[in-house]
Amino acid sequence: MSADEKSPHYEQDTDYKREKVATYKVQIDKSVFELTDPTPTGRELLKVAGKAPAEQFAIYEKPQGGGQPIRIGLDHHVDLRKPGIERFVTLPLDQTEGLTARRQFSLPADDMAWLESLGLKYELVAEASALRIVIYDLPISGGYNRDKVDVNVRIEPGYPDTQIDMAYFYPGLRRTDGRAIAAICDDPFDGKIWQRWSRHRTPANPWRPGIDNLATHFALIESWLVREAEKV
């Protein structure tokens, strides 16, 4: 056989090499990547996103259609073979700028996942008989003298069957049009004077055990802020 002759096996191998390799699109934070591995681990996804060392980050899968983000373990595999682009969000595990964040009580897993998905500093603080979740620099809707504010809510005995009520802001909020905000008062906590908003659920919108949680209460807080800013 001459040097320029090709065997059938060679041609078959060439055709095989020309087959298109399957790729899977993922969005991590705001960037889109194409992967060839259909079942990467959390560690591998963090590496693709340039988050190193992986032990200093958490990664969450954002379910299609909404819902609570699901934390992916570093060595846990995810299946990318489902239709659509899989979306993930990363979170640095050190959010305290060199300080140790207080974790003085525990919360259900879905609440912890929601808190970590915010990408904001938060603390779980027990003071006397009160348990409070504090979120720092939470972005809020327009119409106020600031666009970010610290917020805390009280966790009552029996939660999550017992409702979360009201909201506490620091520093206190003011409307940009100068109108007074009704049903507010001072509330001392953690060495600061917080602004308590006395806003409550109604019989038409009761707390729903098994459905309502920290995320739905903060959605309600946002609706209170919007409605207050729109009052004339």
CATH classification code of 22-92 = 3.10.20.90
Question: pLDDT tens digit string along 167-195?
Answer: 999 999 999 999 999 999 999 999 999 99
Alpha helices, H only, the chain: 8-17, 42-48, 109-117, 214-230
pLDDT of residue 1 exceeding 80, the answer is no
Question: pLDDT tens digit string along 19-42?
Answer: 678 899 999 998 999 999 999 999
User: Is residue 143 classed exposed, middle or buried when 0-12, 13-18 and 19+ CB atoms within 10 A define those classes?
Assistant: middle
Q: What's the Cα-to-Cα distance from 50 to each of 22, 47, 91, rounded to whole Å?
A: 23, 5, 12
Question: pLDDT tens digit string along 60-117?
Answer: 888 877 767 788 888 889 999 887 778 999 887 754 444 578 999 999 999 999 999 9
